[in-house]
Chains A and B, each alone.
Chain A
Amino acid sequence: MSADLRESLLQFGEQNRLFGIITLPASVDPTRPAIVISNTGIEHRVGPNRLHVQIARALAAAGYCVLRFDLGGLGDSDAPRGQAASSLADCRLALDALDARRLGSRYVVIGLCSGSHDGHQLCRVDERVVGLFNIDGYAYQNFKFRRLYWQSRFTHPLRTLQSIAGRIHPRFRFAEPQGMGAAIIEWPSQKEVARDYQQFMARQLNLGFLFTGDVQHSYLYAEQHYDIFPVLRDWAPVWFLPHIDHTLSRRTAREEMIRHLRKWLLSLSD
């Protein structure tokens, strides 16, 4: 970590049940929005392969105040007593905590997988959010996707063979890492999301999307998000990085993603 950065610990919410870490640049520029990152799936605030730590430190080095925190019931945060955990309520408490410490009044939310869902839902209800950067967020299929999907099934003989063998006997199935689907979230319909994007644009909310090559069940070509949501074409950048996996397990993948993110963020202040 650069000597110019500081990290401070934040306990907030009722009975201080929520925990996060604020990464601060040497001097905070009040004109810039603060950044908020919540959990990806069930992993605690450091993120998969320490991704969130790297994002926070890289963005703080670029002059942003960044909070990464645990939702209730994950990492070092507790669910509210006697109530069901609500990631939306916890995200709003995180914004309140930064507001109260005068570390932000406008926010950009960054989310990967379930974090992108949480970020999207927060945008719907909280006008303090001025930007949303989603990694492997909502994606929907169209005709071109289905054509490419089935084409790939028939032109990848090894995978087809393994798939057939796996159906015959479980020992031929490659282990699928568990946990990614552990946080079961009901994603909204394409129609609902289209309506949300219209509202976000009316609010001048900045959007950015990045899709990795691990969501082949829902995303297969660079223009797919624009084809599904044409309204975004002149509004939000979409990156499709097929050589990157969902948890950004390669160092080079994390660095590439952070480069896109930083560039997008800096473009907001132009």
Chain B
Amino acid sequence: MIPLQFGDPERLLLGFHHPATGAARRTAVLICPSWGREYLRSYRGVRLMAMRLAEAGFETLRFDYSGTGDSAGHSLDAHLEHWLADIATAAEELRLLSGHQDIAVLGVRFGALLAEAARHRLGLRVKFCIHWDAPESGASYATLMQRLADESDISKRLRRNRDMQLPPPDPHELFGHAWPVPLAEAVNTLSLPSLEVPSLWYVSTDHAAPAKAPPETVLSSQEAGHWHELGWINAPWVPAAPALRLAEHLGRVLP
């Protein structure tokens, strides 16, 4: 695992390159993480996924979008167009690091919507897409985050004394993370990944693939993701067996 900073010097992105340790392949994998609480919850799981892919022979890169995680930028300056450009930048970085032109994108949750938008709007060249528990749309994802935030606030309100109540959240934040109104509006335009590119819908047992997905493109992770439950939102998501299963599957279907 090699940590690195890359991209526009004004908006440096933090990434981790996992060089292939297994028999080398011609396809490299870019992992696009989720956002906010899901990003935090799945951080170690995404790292584990990258390690399993590297062991299966895939050069792999994972990174943080600008204004999130360890990448440069203030959270309140986060912008959808920046995030899509970040994905394109990361894909180019991965081509340079790996020497491979063929890129597969693994989008985790919200990351699947972003990867699809980068492909569709910026012409990102991708050979294969893996959508891990992709939400139906940007709007449905934001609605879920809002519901969880509301539930969390109600729970806190009830547990706190009257003189110890939290102030209402800032209109530019969602569930503890900056969510500027222009970003929220842009996210509402994101839609379910299309079927134009060969894809795999990797789904947890409590998540459904879209109805339009051909059955042969759907694979169950055989574990629950618990993305919709407040009680799990602070629990780490480290899908050890599903990560291994996915790496083995990709090893069979990708060169």
A interface, CB within 8 angstroms of B? 1, 3, 7, 9, 11, 19, 21, 41-46, 48-50, 53, 74-76, 152, 155-156, 158-159, 162, 174-180, 182, 213-214, 216, 220, 242-245, 247, 249-252
Known contacts: A48-B176, A152-B161. The answer to whether A179 contacts B235 by CB under 8 A is: yes
A115 to B164, CA, bound (A): 24
B interface, CB within 8 angstroms of A? 1, 3-5, 10, 12, 14, 16, 40, 43-44, 47, 68-70, 72-76, 151-152, 154-156, 158-167, 169-170, 172-173, 175-178, 229-236
B164 touches A44 (CB 8 A): no
Q: Which B residues touch A178, using CB under 8 A?
A: 231-235
Known contacts: A174-B154, A243-B166. The answer to whether A251 contacts B173 by CB under 8 A is: yes
Q: Which B residues touch A53, using CB under 8 A?
A: 69-70
B177 touches A245 (CB 8 A): no
Supplied contacts A50-B75, A156-B161, A216-B159, 8 more A-B pairs, CB within 8 Å:
A44-B43, A49-B177, A50-B68, A53-B69, A175-B230, A213-B160, A242-B161, A249-B166
Looking at the assembled complex, report how far the CB atom of A101 sits from the nearest CB atom of chain B, in whole angstroms: 16
B234 touches A177 (CB 8 A): yes
A214 touches B156 (CB 8 A): yes
A247 touches B176 (CB 8 A): yes
State which of B72, B76, B166, B234 has its C-beta within 8 Å of the C-beta of A7.
Answer: B72
Q: Which A residues touch B40, using CB under 8 A?
A: 43-44, 46, 48
A1 touches B74 (CB 8 A): yes
A177 touches B233 (CB 8 A): yes
For A246, the closest partner residue in chain B by CB is: B156
B69 touches A250 (CB 8 A): no
A75 touches B44 (CB 8 A): yes
State which of A44, A156, A158, A159 has its C-beta within 8 Å of the C-beta of B44.
Answer: A44
A237 to B14, CA, bound (A): 36
A49 to B39, CA, bound (A): 10
Show 25 A/B contacts (Cβ-Cβ < 8 Å), sorted by A.
A1-B74, A7-B12, A7-B72, A44-B40, A44-B43, A48-B40, A49-B176, A50-B68, A75-B47, A76-B16, A174-B151, A174-B155, A177-B155, A177-B231, A178-B234, A182-B236, A213-B166, A216-B159, A216-B164, A243-B165, A245-B156, A249-B176, A250-B170, A252-B167, A252-B170
